[in-house]
Amino acid sequence: QVQLVESGGGLVQAGGSLRLSCAASGGFFKINTMGWYRQAPGKQRELVATITSGSTTNYADSVKGRFTISRDNAKNTVYLQMNSLNPEDTAVYYCNADILRSSWARTYAYWGQGTQVTVSS
């Protein structure tokens, strides 16, 4: 069973920082691209950042220069360092991973349960 578990969310004042972690566990052959998405109340889920297995990164324009995505392949973990947070960053943040269960199978997208990030003004 593949499972993604996020941690690190919480309440922070504007201008503060948080570090989110997402660890993948269970039986799988390979993790390809991993990413972070967020969904604010009443809004559609949006891409925050992605990182490939080779550590190539991509960021939404709204978080460039403030957020940093990274991964530790040995630990099957992806991180999101969030600096200079503002109230517009308030959302539930979801971890995503494109996982190959076996060498002969196709990849599937897996999602974490989400972690709440609240930024107060």
Q: Residues 53-101: pLDDT tens digits?
A: 999 999 999 999 999 999 999 999 999 999 999 999 999 999 999 999 9
Whether residue 116 has pLDDT greater than 90 = yes
CB count in 10 Å sphere of residue 73: 13
Give the integer Cα–Cα distance in Å for 85 and 103: 40
Secondary structure of residue 24 in the 3-state scheme: strand
Tell me the CB-side half-sphere exposure of residue 4, using CA atoms within 13 A: 26
